[in-house]
Amino acid sequence: MRTQIDRNEHNIRIDIGVCTYRRTELEQTLRSLGAIAVPEGATIRIIVADNDEVPSAEGRVNALRASVPHEIVYVHCPSSNISIARNACLDNATGDFLAFIDDDETAGENWIVRLIETAEATEADVVLGPVKAVYDKDAPGWMRRGDFHSTFPVWVGDRIVTGYTCNALLRLAAPSLAGRRFNLALGRSGGEDTEYFTHMHRMGGKIGYAPGAWVEEPVPAKRAAFSWLAKRKFRFGQTHGRLIEAGSGLAGKIRQLALASAKGGYCAIAATAFLFSPVRRNQYILRASLHAGVVIGLLGVREIEQYGAAEARSS
pTM of the shown model: 0.90
Q: Are 31 and 68 contacting, i.e. CB atoms less than 8 angstroms apart?
A: yes
Whether 156 is covered by a domain: the verdict is yes
Tell me which of 202, 219, 236 is where a domain ends. 219
Cα separation, 307 vs 58, in Å, equals 21
Cα separation, 137 vs 172, in Å, equals 40
Could you give the 3-state DSSP secondary structure of residue 59? helix
Residue 8 has pLDDT above 80, yes or no: no
Q: Can you list the alpha helix ranges (DSSP code H) found in the chain?
A: 26-34, 58-64, 82-92, 111-122, 141-146, 192-202, 226-246, 250-273, 278-298, 309-314
What is the predicted pLDDT for the residue at 249? 82
Q: Which residue has the higher pLDDT, 199 or 3?
A: 199
What is the predicted pLDDT for the residue at 90? 98
Q: Are 190 and 303 contacting, i.e. CB atoms less than 8 angstroms apart?
A: yes
Tell me which of 219, 238, 272 is where a domain ends. 219
Residue range of the domain that includes 46: 12-219
Q: Are 133 and 150 contacting, i.e. CB atoms less than 8 angstroms apart?
A: yes
Tell me which of 162, 197, 219 is where a domain ends. 219
Cis ω for the linkage preceding 79 (within 30 of 0) = yes
Domain count, the chain: 2
Tell me the pLDDT band of 10, cut-offs 50, 70 and 90: low
For residue 93, give the CATH number of its domain: 3.90.550.10
The amino acid present at 189, given as its one-letter code, is: S
Distances in Å between the alpha carbon of 95 and those of 3, 15, 98, 131? Answer: 14, 6, 7, 24
Same domain, 68 and 129: yes
Residue 261 has pLDDT above 50, yes or no: yes
* pLDDT tens per residue across span 53-83: 999 999 999 999 999 999 999 999 998 899 9
